[in-house]
Amino acid sequence: MAEIDTDAHFDIAICGGGLVGLTLANALGRSNFKIAVIDGQARPTFSEQKAPKQKAAEYQAVTLDGCKLASGFAPRVSAINVASMKILENIGVWQDIKRMLAFKQMSVRDTSGSANIKFSAEDIQLDSLGYIVENREILVALANKLKTHENISVFWDTKLNGIDDTPQTTDTAQATDKTHTYRLSIGNQTIYCDLLVGADGGNSRVRELSGIKTLRWSYDQEALVTTIKTEYPHEKIARQWFTSEGPLAFLPLAEPNLCSIVWSLNDVSEHKASNLREFCARLTEASEGELGNIIGADQRFSFPLTQQHAFSYVKENLALIGDAAHTIHPLAGQGANLGFADASALASELMQAKFSEKGIGDLALLRRYELARKPHNLLMTSVMEALKRLYTSGDPGINWIRNTAMKIANDNDLLKNMMARLASGL
Ligand SMILES: Cc1cc2nc3c(=O)[nH]c(=O)nc-3n(C[C@H](O)[C@H](O)[C@H](O)COP(=O)(O)OP(=O)(O)OC[C@H]3O[C@@H](n4cnc5c(N)ncnc54)[C@H](O)[C@@H]3O)c2cc1C
């Protein structure tokens, strides 16, 4: 076996420089671990509008019919709850996020009846329930912060191609000890690590190469996302309508008449193909004119929606976090929030490992991370599944139960406060 270039040896390799992988890397920024972050895409910047991965031909040409909007807001935004905000604050990243909106209230309406639930931050003595932030804003802040940590090397534009977990040694002549656990083929080079973290999203290559299976099903729905301009200001309220076609969310942006929308639909093609005036009219109708007419929209993008959960988040010397471990329906905007909490939990276990004789790949240590996160993530997955089924049912009996339950919940302060706490993640 050839001698290993020790420069290419890392304690931890994090595959995936998305929201979750970069959060873990920054959380370990003050450790003594030597860390590699590997991402197949270029370093996120503000100059490059990170377009969703989609074939160019599928993008809809925006027609100039009076509704064209060039909002300057990126199409992908996330509702970040208070718990995630604190995680980002602790790693010194939240302070660097330039543009966001703190939302004070949430309103949920069932358009097949008259039920409505409203809950607010004030009810639970908070300033806000969460924040609407463009993903790009968070990614840029996370990537910039990484540069301040000398123990972290980042390989942008570099894909993980393969992994080999047969024991690797540093010196063929003498060493017989197992010193490096994984050999990673990344781009056109090789690196070594003791712990491999898969933070590489829903189609995780790390998960696939390590043979971890998932329970997976498609919702047969796609999410249509864009930025819209409304006649009336949003007043810092995040709104959701459960329409017969699927849940529609208006997430308030840092401009009073701009919202980012996520509309989960069985068939997005019709809405993507419609001209802008028609699209805006449909949105006005689906949102029951609550913010007046929709008077403009940006380019429309869509994302397939699947639910999946890895049977195991860990193996010896390997852990999965974020979407690599679980993806859920975006109807309650929780996917990234669960991922931030994963990153934080794994980081705190790894920091403890500094004081343990056992290495960072120790299965018992990694299982503690799994135990800290899996029950909560599974619970959230089940709640999303139940909500999705409840709100897409055409059964009049179920519609009646749903409406009645919403009315009862809206009249019950205790229940509303519980929902507000759930939304804030606290
Ligand atoms: C329409 C929509 C709306 C959403 N809204 C919300 C919301 O409001 N709030 C919320 O909390 N969540 C929301 N989510 C969920 C959230 O976007 C995801 O949970 C989150 O982005 C997952 O982050 P991640 O870092 O785990 O994965 P990703 O963001 O998928 O990042 C994975 C990274 O790994 C890299 N990668 C992949 N394969 C390789 C490879 N082989 N080699 C190297 N690099 C690789 C990719 O380039 C990417 O940068 C929404 C999701 C959708 C679809």
DSSP string, 237-284: EEEEEEETTEEEEEEE-SSTTEEEEEEEES--HHHHHS-HHHHHHHHH
CA 92-97-98 angle, 5° bins: 145
Does the Cβ of 44 fall within 6 Å of ligand 1?
no
Dihedral sign, Cα of residue 184, residue 187, residue 190, residue 194: negative
The pLDDT score that the predictor gives to residue 312 is 97
Mean pLDDT value of segment 395-419? 66
Is the distance from the beta carbon of residue 18 to the nearest atom of ligand 1 less than 6 Å?
yes
**pLDDT at residue 130, rounded to an integer:** 93
Q: How far apart are CA 106 and CA 235, in angstroms?
A: 11
For ligand 1, whether the C-beta of 200 sits within 6 Å is yes
What are 283-298's pLDDT values in tens digits? Answer: 999 999 999 999 999 9
DSSP assignment of 89-140: HHTT-GGG----EEE-EEEEEETTSS-EEEEEGGGGT-S-SEEEEEHHHHHH
Shortest-distance atom of ligand 1 to CA 186: 42
Residue extents of the structural domains in the chain = 6-46+138-215+308-384, 56-135+219-305+390-424
Predicted pLDDT of residue 48: 47
Cα–Cα distance, 285 to 248 (Å, whole number): 11
| Protein residue with its CA nearest to atom 51 in ligand 1 | 330
Q: To which CATH superfamily is domain 6-46+138-215+308-384 assigned? A: FAD/NAD(P)-binding domain (3.50.50.60)
205 lines ligand 1 (CB under 6 A): yes
Please tell me the predicted confidence (pLDDT) of residue 3.
Answer: 53
Between 54 and 402, name the one with better pLDDT.
402
Lowest mean pLDDT among 317-331, 353-367, 397-411: 397-411
| 264 CA closest ligand 1 atom index | 1
pLDDT of residue 63: 38
Closest CA to ligand 1's atom 37: 200
Options 3.30.70.2660, 3.30.565.10, 3.40.50.300, 3.30.9.10; CATH for 56-135+219-305+390-424 is 3.30.9.10
For 312-340, write each residue's pLDDT tens digit. Answer: 999 999 999 999 999 988 877 889 999 99
Is 260 within 8 Å of 75 (Cβ atoms)?
A: yes
| Ligand 1 mutation target, pool 14, 76, 78, 253, most atoms within 8 A of CB | 78
111: pLDDT confidence band, cut at 50, 70 and 90? confident
Report the nearest-CA residue for atom 30 of ligand 1.
201
64 pLDDT higher than 50: no
Q: What digits encode the pLDDT tens for the residues 164-199?
A: 987 766 554 444 455 568 999 999 999 999 999 999
Distance of alpha carbon 238 from alpha carbon 119, whole angstroms: 10
Q: Is 118 in the pocket of ligand 1 (CB under 6 A)?
A: no
CA of 279 to the centre of ligand 1 (A): 27
Do residues 338 and 326 make contact, with C-beta atoms less than 8 angstroms apart? yes
Which residue out of 39, 41, 186, 388 has the highest number of ligand 1 atoms within 8 Å of its CB and is therefore the one to mutate? 39
Where is mean pLDDT largest: 16-25, 105-114, 236-245? 16-25
- pLDDT given at position 416: 63
For residue 163, what pLDDT is reported? 95
Q: What is the pLDDT of residue 258?
A: 96
CA 300 – CA 268 distance, rounded (Å): 10
pLDDT at position 282 is 94
**50 pLDDT higher than 50:** no
260 in Cβ contact with 132 (< 8 Å): yes
| The predicted structure's pLDDT at residue 62 | 38
Q: Whose CA is nearest to atom 31 of ligand 1?
A: 18
Q: CB-based contacts of 224: which residues, under 8 Å, 6+ apart?
A: 261, 262, 263, 264, 265, 268, 271, 272, 300, 301, 302
pLDDT > 90 fraction of the chain, expressed in percent and rounded: 59
Is residue 408 very low, low, confident or very high in pLDDT (cuts 50, 70, 90)?
low
Give the residue among 187, 191, 125 at the shortest CA–CA distance from 160.
187
The angle subtended at Cα 201 by Cα 196 and Cα 204, nearest 5°, is 60
Q: What is the mean pLDDT of residues 195-221?
A: 92
Ordered DSSP codes for 167-234:
-B-S-TTT--S--B-EEEEETTEEEEEEEEEE---TT-HHHHHTT--EEEEEEEEEEEEEEEEESS--
pLDDT at residue 396, rounded to an integer: 66
Average pLDDT of the chain to the nearest whole number: 85
Asked if residue 199 has its Cβ within 6 Å of ligand 1, the reply is yes
Contact (CB, 8 A) for 278 and 260: no
Q: Which residues contact 4 (CB under 8 A, 6 or more apart)?
A: 168, 169, 170, 180, 192
Query: What is d(CA 404, CA 313) in angstroms, rounded to the nearest whole number?
Result: 39
Locate tokens 């006649």: which residue?
Answer: 231
Distance of alpha carbon 188 from alpha carbon 190, whole angstroms: 7
